[in-house]
Structure formats: structure tokens, C-alpha cells
Structure 1
Amino acid sequence: MRTDYLNIPIRDCGEPLQEIPESAFPRMHPHPYLAMGAPYPGSPWRLRSGALSALYRAQSLLSARRPGWRIALFDAYRPLAVQHFMVWDAFRREAQAMGCLTRLASCAGPDALERGDPEIYALLAPKVYRFWGIPDPDPCRPPPHSTGAAIDCKLVDGEGRDVSMGGPVDDFTDRAIPDFFASALPGTPEYLHHQNRELLVLVMTHAGYARHVGEWWHFSIGDQMWAHTVGADCALYGRVGDG
């Protein structure tokens, strides 16, 4: 579990959340976590104003390199309650895969599981938190998406078709690793996957975002993970109220 970035101080600049225009950035329909019953009190398609401006810059860079291609969104703002819902769902799926689902029956979340069954928590937590941010209520340790400064995204071509990235968003296998296809030979499908991932990270980082070390689709700007990646003294965005 990579949590060292959570030690970086936050000096929130106070920027508000803004709606992300679907006309500019195509999105998943329906929203994948809403479809699962995640408790969103408002729109998930929001970002801090500075993060949204950076996303427009990334789109401009992409358009210059691949006319007609667009950055498509899978997820953006995720309140803490939604993070808790999705993390607990991930625990249940991991428990089911390992044949220990019944041991979660009396628990209401990862905190209760850690207290009530530390053995099974120790077994499942590294698998879950490899990809999911810990839903810590401490405002000094927010999950990245709860800051309104992180997105999960992919590329689509001029016809709106998915560009091949070597696996879908939220593919929680080793294929999620950004450089998973880096050794592929030219002319192979795997080489194309890697080239497309490299294009996405190029336009996003040139626009100011930083990529998650373990997920090709996750980018953030101004949060603690971003600060850790770029060497900033502090984060610009903390957790946004769950409204």
C-alpha cells in the first residue's frame, strides 16, 4: 500500500468544484459507480476549477497531435462516502475470490473488519489498497478523488470509439501498470497499447497533471499524490465537502 504521499501538508486554495461539460469531454453512461448504487449526493462529473482548466489544456495538446481524438472520462469527483462504498465493495469481491466472504458478514466497512477480524483484513487490504485510496475521514489524509482534483480517463478517436489502451479503466490486474507493455515489439498490438498510453501521459503531464504510479488511467493535479510526484512542498487541494 503506497500511502507516503498522505504525509504531505495541504494548503487548500479554496477553488470550487465545477461541472465538466460533456460537450467537451465525453463520459461513461451510466456513471459506473452510480450504476452500482454508490451514494452520490450530487454530480460525479465535477472538478476543481484549476483541474478543469488543466484538462482543457490537455485536450488542446491531444487535438494538436491526434485531430478528432478526445479525452473521455470514467470518473471524477468522488465524495468520501462513495470512496467508502467502493472500497468495501472491493473488499467483498476480494473475499469472494478467496473463499472467505462469510467472514465479512458482520462488518459494515474496512474499519470494522480491521477491528473485528484483523487476520482477514491483513490478507485483503494489500490487494484492495493497491488500487483504491483509503477512505480515511481524517481531512489531512483524503483519498485523491475526494479532493476534486483527480480523474480516471481514457482516449477515444474521432468516431467516439475507444482507443486501444491494453485494458479497460478499473482493470485491477497487472495490466493496470502504466509501463506494462513497454517491452512490446513494434508492429504488435501490445506496442500500440503502450504508444497510446504514452500519448495520454504526455498530454496530461504537459498540462500539469501527474499520473498514478500503478494505474495508467488515473491522473491528478494539486492533490497530495500530485505533490509527492512532482516534488511540491504542499498540496493545493484537500477534501471537498461531500455535497
Structure 2
Amino acid sequence: MAACTKNLLLLSTSTVHGTEYLQYASEHIKIFLSKWNVSNILFIPYALKDYDAYTNKARKALETFGFKVKGIHEMDNPVSAVAKAEAVFIGGGNTFQLLKSLYDNKIVEPIQQRVLKDGMPYIGSSAGTNVATVSICTTNDMPIVYPPTFQALSLVPFNINPHYLDPDPSSKHMGETREERIRQYHEISGMPPVLGMREGCILHVEGNKAVLKGLCGAKLFSPAKQPKELDVGADVSFLLQI
């Protein structure tokens, strides 16, 4: 494991239409983890209520990729589990429930330490991607529980909106679009940029380099600026320098 480097694979979603769980990202996951000689993955299922079922779902998929999976709830101590992990994968679900559980189990700082100081590979999907950012303020989820703060892991210095949907010009729905909600977020001064990741988009961060991968691109929203389209293969390393 190379020390003092950031290694993140942030998925917009775990499943795209017509495919199995994590199937669309399988090659990216294999390459990402194999580079760091990872054999065992610590899965954090806190975003859903049934930890066993969720872990078994992740285990079934990731074992076909050649990796062993252990749920953090199956370990004696969450903090020591993170300290010993070769890699962490945080799955999707409800972002508020996930963040609260990360704080309740006192693993926010241990994850930050392992990822930002030790270079431990981190995979996030949906809610797991949300908590890798500055805050969970740009999640699409309902606040079903109260985390102690909206501040998240800050593994990257910006926010992400997974499952980003473009406005449908033919729709008769008169509610706010996702773009309008992000613009409202930026009405508050000091808020970071938001990367709207469409279904199938993947952000790969290695050290000071960040590149969009996967099936489709993303849309970048910055305060007081027009949104910017970003295609697959786009170098977005500038976002790490904010």
C-alpha cells in the first residue's frame, strides 16, 4: 500500500438499468483494488436497516470479482475493523441513516485517517459517495434520522449529487428540477461546487488526480457560474484544489 495518497472510487449508483448489482462497475472495481493488492473488503452496510442481507448482497457480487467481503457489523469492534481494513466499501441507501451510524460507531475519524493518511482504498456508492464529500447537503434522501452534523468525511473538498437527473423538457411536472435544487443550495454563500453524477458515472481519485469514468459523464455546478458538462474521461483534478 502506497502511503500518503488518496485512492477513491466513487460510484453514482450501485446498479444501472438492465444489469446486476455493481455489474457496470465491475472492471473498474477489479482494476482499482488489484492495483493495491487488496484481497479483503470491509463492507459498511449502515445505509440500510438489514445489515446481514445488505452485506450478503455485496458479498455475492464482490466475490465473483475475486474479493472476500466482511461486514463491519460482523466484527467485534468497528474502530479496530477500520484500522485493520485493506479497503472499505460503503454502500448506498439512506444518507442520513448512514452518516448517523458512522458517527454513532465512532468511525468517521478512523476512516479519514486510513484514507487520507494511509492511502487505504475507499469505494462508495450513492450514499457511500455522498458521505465521502464535504457534507450530505446535496443528497436526494429523506432525513429519516438526525445525524449529529451534516458534515461528512471530507475525503474530497466538494459535494456530489449522485443519481443526477437532467431536466426533461417534455415533462409536465412543475416541481423543482435537480438543477434548481442545486442552484438553491448555492444561494447560501461559501458552499462548495457540486458534481452531479448521472447514473453509471464513476469518479476515480488517485492522489491529486481525479478522472470521470464509467458509462456517462457528469454536470458541474459552481457558485455564480453556468453549469459545465463533463464527459467520460474528463480530468477534474482541479476540484481537488478547492
Same fold per TM (> 0.5)?
A: no
TM-score (norm 1): 0.28
Higher helix share: 1
TM-score (norm 2): 0.28
